[in-house]
Amino acid sequence: MSSTTSRPTPERPTAAGSTTAFRRTAKIILSAALALAAGATPLLLPGTAAADTPLVVDGFDRSVSSGWGRADTGGSWADLVGGSSTSVTGSEGRVTNILGGRSFRAYQKAVAAEDAEVRADFTVPAAKDFIYTIEARKQADLSAYLARGRIDSAGKLHMDVMRSQGSTLTMLKEMTLETPVVVGQKLTLKLSTTGEAPVIVKGKVFVAGQNEPGWQVTFLDSAAAALKTPGYAGLQAYNGGSNAAINLATQTFAVTDTTPAPVEEPSNPTSPTPGDPSASPTPGAPTIAPPPAPPAKLATKHGADPVGSAQYPVPTNALFVSAAAGNDANAGTQDKPFKTLNKALTKNWSGQTIVLRAGTYHESVLVAPGHAATIQPYPGEKVWFDGTRAVTGFTRSTTGYVAGGWTTELDSSPTYTKGEPDGTATGWQWIDPQYPMAAHPDMVWVGDVEQTQVGSRDALVPGTFFVDGATDQLYLGADPGTEEVRASDLQVAFSLRAPGTVLRGFGVQRYADSVWQQGVISSYWERMTLDNMTVLDSATGGVGFFKPGSVIKNTTIDGSGQIALHANQADNLVLENLSVTDSNDERFNPAPSSGGIKITQTRGVKLRGSELLRTYGSQFWTDQSTYDITVAGNEILDGSRYGVVLEISSTATVADNIIAGNAFDGVLVANTDKVHIWNNTLVGNRKAIAFAQDSRRIEQLKVSGHDPRRPQPDLSMPWVIGNSTIGNNVMAAGRNASAVISVDVYELISNASDLNIATNGNVYSQTALGVPNSLATWARKGSQPYQFIMLDDFRDNTGQERSSASLVLPTPVDSAYRPLPAVAAKLSAVAQPLPSEVADRIGRTTGDKALGAWSRPTA
């Protein structure tokens, strides 16, 4: 596997053509963001001017023999320096004989602006290492913002935005363009500066007369050196030092005031919103509100009913088992039950029901071929299979407390191959050195408190235990007193080998399986069903299914040491109404194989209506050529890594999910194609959605991850991102995110748009302008990806997100993950009709429109 703070701005005189409106707007943005939690209307990110006002317009439609004279609109050109002569003729401002290593400059000093767009059209001269620059907010000390169209020694065109402070230039952002540069071609260069906290600096350069692209580079300048004062504009040109003298022609120069429309300040609410414990701010005394609390877990019910509540009918021909009152010499009738389930399974015919009476069963159960059964509790009776036995006789020792006669020896192999050592290659080490005992399956409870295993007697402290296999002794770090001590001495609860077996309505807990056993309930046979089962505190794996046609539904899997559920070659696997919580609590490395649910080499997987919570690692992960995946109607919350990972797989729908609070990305699509991500609420993850392409390809047969049952290579699954759609999601990234969504091709061999990845109808939410720094990262062939800070830039440059919206909000959802009214109000303008290929998979109507996940029923 693979805050911003606001400070007051002193009042200052306004120069001709300048304005303080955006300074007021910037303050309003902050106050509005702070008020939104109390129900105020959100702000769309800046991008629309009230009425663009031309300050300078010069098409050079005059004749001047020396200098450039006066612009058509604006003032006279000043400070013309460089070249041997300047003139205006033929609708061009001309400069002759700019020597190699020398510059030319000219300024419009009669007008000044803060929020402005500067434009120049010029002709490419016969020179390499040539730079044409336009400037804005130019100050008396020569500080300014600059946009440069730069032609390097190889003839490549670059777009740079910079800040100058006297003679010091600071590169803010640059981009190498794919546009071919031809001598004599006319280029258009544009620079935009907006705002104060931060200053939004944008630049673009393109062939004049062709379709104008969106802003190619955008930078949010929040540095102390940011220029927050109106200034004048101008242009410069530099001829590379190794070049012969050149002539320069400029056809157009324009400066436009782009001050945004005034924004009406939101009024203070008259009363707190429901659930807000704080009163409204006092008018005239604004305060910085604390960050919003993380949304609470949804009040929905997933997983098994409480053990002991099942009410399954009892067939007249059922066999009966009672651990408390049975005898294996009995006939297995209701009045003469067997004592053990294993005995009953030697007497049943395939498909017979076995009824368990109340009690705790201490067995490792084998359901042998030909003895398929439905195994269930008697109506209303509590049945547990428990892998522990009581340990008594603890006495004080020099280190802790010790009991003799503990002869249980459990294998601690750390991988899926018994006896093999841990891997050494990066990404293939199962054990984290900080948790060296993770693969040791021994478990001990004192009362109901699980103890932590240590590797030596000297490491014992209260709350820990040590197994001394050489002396058959079990040590505790503290006196258990009158509390019962129980230790696990059984590893596997159920080994299912009879197709058609059903386990339902009871609990399994505290079995000490080794990693290679892959689950305390496991099956390498077809068509198994777990229904209304509770599986607690497995030493490593919870459930492992490895053949087609199985169903796991209405089931709770909690506290699995390494992974809750693992499936391989389990085609047509249905996972429904699961509660998977606190998985990998032994802290195995999250890769190569630990976490919540991992599915490999499987064709047909459905995860529906479930919750995956607090996994240490990735919560749901498909890998190794898994095909046809549906993840719908789930809550996937608060994991330590990714919410959903689709890796070297194909054909997936991720829809109608709430994926929130995960430390890594909400949805990671790695080398996986045909993925449709629709109507999800993705908040508080690092990124909301990330597509990533590395060097692996299906044609590389020596690379791990092929499904051996398929023709090789399986060209229906290229292991290449693409042919995917993103729509109707509500997305807000976490505080450490670099972007809300991203498409990365690490080999730099493809543009994101060439991969046919389309996104539209989404709502982006930022806690402040520039938090996270980018809305979108977009792969670019031959260079580092585009970083689009503003939604308008993303839309204009890529054609994506034509109907989408970007808001400044502390959070776009309420405590139940429902869109706030300000987000819901965007429904008609933003949401796209649900496509049939998504609707069919999630049980919705084609054409439905919604933003984020559909609402969930409450308890």
Counted domains in the chain = 2
Q: Compute CA distances 638 → 267, 460, 472, 829, whole Å.
A: 35, 32, 41, 31
Quick check: 782 pLDDT over 70? yes
pLDDT(179) > 80: no
What's the gap between Cα 79 and its chain centre? 52
Question: Are the C-beta atoms of 513 and 492 separated by less than 8 Å?
Answer: yes
> What pairing do the DSSP bridges indicate for beta strands 556-558 and 579-581?
parallel
- In this structure, the strands spanning 620-623 and 644-647 are parallel
Rounded Cα–Cα distance for residues 248 and 238 (Å): 10
Is 776 within a domain?
Answer: yes
Which residue stretches of 377-532 are H helix?
A: none
Confidence at residue 197, expressed as pLDDT on a 0 to 100 scale: 77
Tokens for 454, please give them: 């240590």
Confidence at residue 218, expressed as pLDDT on a 0 to 100 scale: 86
Query: What is the pLDDT at residue 21?
Result: 35
Under the banding of pLDDT at 50, 70 and 90, the label for residue 262 is low
The confidence band for 16, taking pLDDT boundaries of 50, 70 and 90, is very low
| pLDDT band (50, 70, 90) for residue 774 | confident
Average pLDDT over residues 494-511: 97
Query: Rounded to whole angstroms, how far apart are CA atoms 659 and 427?
Result: 25
Give CA–CA dist 326/305, Å, rounded.
27
Q: Using 50, 70 and 90 to split pLDDT, how confident is the model at 14?
A: very low
267: DSSP letter: P
Please state the rounded mean pLDDT for residues 765-785: 85
Question: Which range of residues forms the domain containing residue 633?
Answer: 618-806
Last residue of a domain, one of 230, 257, 284: 257
Q: What is the pLDDT of residue 492?
A: 97
Q: Which amino acid is at 672?
A: T
What phi and psi values does residue 79 have, to the nearest 5 degrees?
A: 55, 40
Higher-confidence residue of 313 and 280: namely: 313
The pLDDT value given to residue 857: 56
pLDDT winner (highest mean) among 27-41, 299-313, 399-413, 768-782: 399-413
Q: Write down the pLDDT at residue 273.
A: 35
Residue 33 lies in a domain: no
Residue 230 lies in a domain: yes
Query: At which of 211, 234, 257 does a domain end?
Result: 257
51 — pLDDT class (breaks 50, 70, 90): low
- Contact indicator for 745, 693 with CB cutoff of 8 Å: yes
Q: What is the pLDDT of residue 140?
A: 92
Mean pLDDT across 94-108 = 96
Radius of gyration of the chain (CA): 34
The angle subtended at Cα 115 by Cα 111 and Cα 116, nearest 5°, is 60
**Which of 39-43, 424-428, 624-628, 735-739 bottoms out in mean pLDDT, i.e. has the lowest?**
39-43
Q: Is the pLDDT of residue 263 over 80?
A: no
CA 529, 534, 539: angle at the middle one, nearest 5? 105
Q: What are the structure tokens assigned to 401, written together?
A: 């407390």
pLDDT tops 90 at residue 466:
yes
Average pLDDT over residues 771-797: 87
Beta bridge partners of 353: 374
- Does residue 473 belong to any structural domain of this protein? no
pLDDT at 49 over 80: no
| First CA to last CA distance, the chain | 37
Say what the pTM is: 0.81
From the list 114, 138, 119, the residue with the least C-alpha distance to 190 is: 119
Q: How confident is the model at residue 255 (pLDDT cuts 50, 70, 90)?
A: very high
Q: Give bridge partners of residue 386 from the DSSP assignment.
A: 509
CATH of the domain at 160: 2.60.120.560
3-state secondary structure of 331: coil
Q: Could you tell me if residue 450 is inside a domain?
A: no
Q: What is the DSSP annotation of 757-800?
A: EEEES-EEEESBTTBSSEEEEEEETTEEEEEE-SHHHHHHHHS-
Question: What value does the mean pLDDT of the chain take?
Answer: 88
Question: Does residue 290 carry a pLDDT above 50?
Answer: no
Buried b / exposed e over 201-212, threshold 16 CB at 10 Å, is: bbbbbbbeeeee
**pLDDT (tens digit per residue) in 720-763:** 999 999 999 999 988 778 899 999 999 999 989 889 999 999 99
Q: Which residue has the higher pLDDT, 783 or 131?
A: 131
Residue finishing a domain among 765, 789, 806: 806
**397 inside domain:** no
Structural tokens at position 540: 């490593």
**Average of per-residue pLDDT across 354-381:** 97
CA-nearest of 657, 588, 651 to 620 is: 657
186, 122 contact by CB (below 8 A):
yes
Give the mean pLDDT of 439-463: 95
Please check the confidence at residue 280 and state whether its pLDDT lies above 70: no
pLDDT above 90 covers a percentage of the chain that reads 75
Residue 586 lies in a domain: no
The yes-or-no verdict on residue 719 having pLDDT over 50 is yes
What's the rounded Cα separation, in Å, for the pair 722 and 314? 52
Paired tokens of 339: 């004592």
Helix (H, G, I), strand (E, B) or coil at 35: helix
DSSP annotation string for 712-739: SS-TT--S--BSEEEES-EEEE-TT-SE
Strand segments (E) across 258-321: 319-321
> Per-residue pLDDT for 260 more than 90?
no
Q: Is 290 exposed, middle or buried (0-12, 13-18, 19+ CB in 10 A)?
A: exposed
- With respect to residue 347, please indicate whether it lies within any of the assigned structural domains: no
Q: Which residues pair with 580 in a beta bridge?
A: 557, 612
Is 219 exposed, middle or buried (CB count within 10 Å of its CB: 0-12, 13-18, 19+)?
Answer: buried
Q: What distance in Å separates the CA atoms of residue 751 and residue 778, rounded to the nearest whole number?
A: 8
The average pLDDT across 327-331 equals 96
At residue 261, the pLDDT reads 55
The amino acid occupying position 764 is Y
**What mean pLDDT comes out for the span 698-707?**
93
Residue 471 CA to residue 502 CA, distance in Å, equals 42
Percent of all residues in the chain with a pLDDT value above 70, rounded to a whole number: 89
State mean pLDDT over 76-95. 96
Q: How confident is the model at residue 766 (pLDDT cuts 50, 70, 90)?
A: confident
